[in-house]
Amino acid sequence: MEQIVLNNKDKIKFDLLKGFTQKKQGYSLIEMMTMYDLSKSSTIRYINELNEDLSQLFDAQVSIIFFQDKRYRFSKQDLFIDSYVIDQMRCYYLNNSTPVLVLNAILTKKYPSMEKLSIDLNLSNSAIYKSMAVMQQLTENFNGKITFNSRTSNIEGDELGVRLFIYFLYWSMYRTTQTNPFGPHMPNDYLTIDHLRPLITDRKVLSLSQTTKLSMLQGITLYRINYRKIKINLEPDLAKDIALFNPDNFRLPKITADLTEEEKKQESDLFVFFTKLLIADIDSFDRKKQLVNHYQEADLEISQRITQFIHQFENYMVFHFSKEGYIEIYYLLLILFIYFQYINIDFSKFHTDMTYVNRPKALVDEFKQVENNLYLFIKKNVEPNFLKTIPEDILNMLSHVLFFCYHQNLSPNSIKVHIQMSKNIYIGRSIQKFLTNTFNKDTITFTLNPENADLIISDTFEGVTSHPHQEHLYFDNQYDYQNWNMLLSEISTIIYQKVFLSRVVQLDEE
């Protein structure tokens, strides 16, 4: 979302902050100038402003420091975790952007006119108009619109889309930084989920992000029903297809609006479905298996289509899912296909697509070759069964979902490592023991034949073998941290290329 609403300077400052937390060696001035096409003076000014922004939230405990080697590095007290700093700064920048100020206002109050909104926020009409244009585009993606003519809310449209929009807006801004991100207009009781947790999930412990998402979903749902007096009206087929996600007949508590029993059921069924769609791993594998069994036993068209789709995918890729893999892909596709078929709202603007970010071009090209094959399969088997046309974002998402489900069900390739240390007769065994303890036994094996090795680890030149893609790692000192760090980095790279990307190439050839 920050790419949409932040001005260019704040985008660069926030991007720099994320880069500093990931790149421990930091950046030189020339590197930053090149990365963002900035002058020397602008780059220095941005760094200084970033430090001022950090001091607003963390005093002098978090900062960017210029070191003697002429590189800028990220510095923080041990009590601060990188992800916490990033989320707090994201929230800081977004909340100080004009579009978000405008949107927050119309979500918390009902304004009769744009002029009243302008006065309330002490912003010019032109600033309001510009921000409204940005947010209008976002709300339209969710089948809603910003209006001053409605009696109940400044955002109206398809209620299902409006609720998703509010959820994605607040989650992308606040993440886990606040217990009540909505402000005083949201009753704290609406965000309390202690009673809700055992009814929604069989997991005994939820992470902070899972808890926060569940709290947000309940708060938004209850606020829209009780305060805004707006209820959901589901298509009959959608209501039928999501009902089995709620086998225990859960009813959303704390509804005070005058709803019929059928309306309460629809609200509760949709709420449960949204928890599956929006909260990763809210269900244990046993719960997923139970839900899949319910759908397989039900006489539902979507169940039959998913079974057929998985069978076609196995034939196309010439492999078979394991029992566990079949449950996982069925559960995942069930949620996604229901969403695509009935709701089909593109929320990609609220998420940075990391698929190709910061990867070498060669790897990107190889992965894209695989996607083209999957695109053909998806268009052939999804369009006639689930969607009339497939938007590009859905096509892209499904291609990655299918590829990773496929990849997880393959027997892993392993890399062969040959270790030969000339200094003594024992350090080679120590390195082997360290690697065995660090990596999966199915991923790395050891060979005494250097001709067969994907990687040769040695403290001396071992010659050139006939192996076409063999790597050599010079390991000089077992007491040097940098040697071990380099060793782990090199093996991780080879594993990624051989175990992961070899599947990519194999798939493309098939």
Task: Name the domain count of the chain.
Answer: 4
User: Same domain, yes or no, for 104 and 230?
Assistant: yes
Does residue 86 lie in a domain region? no
User: Same domain, yes or no, for 274 and 295?
Assistant: no
* Domain closes at, from 245, 278, 311: 278
What is the CB neighbour count within 10 angstroms for residue 173?
24
Secondary structure percentages of the chain, helix, strand, coil, to 5: 60, 5, 35
Q: Write down the pTM of the prediction.
A: 0.85
Domain span at residue 312 reads 285-408
- Smallest CA-to-CA distance from 334 within 241, 200, 201, 411 is with 241
Does residue 87 lie in a domain region? no
Does residue 37 lie in a domain region? yes
Does residue 477 lie in a domain region? yes
Does residue 88 lie in a domain region? no
- DSSP H helices, 298-426, are 301-317, 323-338, 361-381, 392-408
Does residue 352 lie in a domain region? yes
**In whole angstroms, what is the distance from residue 364 CA to residue 368 CA?**
6
- Smallest CA-to-CA distance from 83 within 207, 191, 215 is with 207
Residue 458, beta-bridge partner list: 420, 474
* Domain closes at, from 278, 293, 314: 278
User: Same domain, yes or no, for 222 and 176?
Assistant: yes
User: Same domain, yes or no, for 318 and 339?
Assistant: yes
Q: Do 271 and 305 meet the contact criterion of CB atoms below 8 Å apart?
A: no
Does residue 22 lie in a domain region? yes
Which backbone phi and psi does 64 adopt, to 5 degrees?
-105, 120
User: Same domain, yes or no, for 291 and 274?
Assistant: no
Our CA angle for 438, 403, 436, nearest 5°, is: 10
* Domain closes at, from 367, 385, 408: 408
Which backbone phi and psi does 242 adopt, to 5 degrees?
-95, -5
Q: Do 494 and 454 meet the contact criterion of CB atoms below 8 Å apart?
A: yes
Tokens standing for 482? 């940098």
Does residue 157 lie in a domain region? yes
Q: Do 36 and 30 meet the contact criterion of CB atoms below 8 Å apart?
A: no
Per-residue pLDDT of the chain (510 residues; tens, 9 = 90+): 888 899 999 999 999 999 999 898 999 999 999 999 999 999 999 999 999 999 999 998 999 999 999 999 999 998 899 999 999 999 999 999 999 999 999 998 899 999 999 999 999 999 999 999 999 988 998 999 999 998 888 999 999 999 999 999 999 999 999 999 998 989 999 999 999 999 999 998 999 999 999 999 999 999 999 999 999 999 999 999 999 999 999 999 999 999 999 999 999 999 999 999 999 999 999 999 999 999 999 989 999 999 999 999 999 888 899 999 999 999 999 999 999 899 988 787 776 544 444 444 444 454 566 777 888 899 889 877 787 777 777 888 888 788 778 877 876 678 999 999 988 888 999 999 999 999 988 889 999 999 999 999 999 888 887 777 788 999 988 888 888 998 998 888 888 777 655 554 454 454
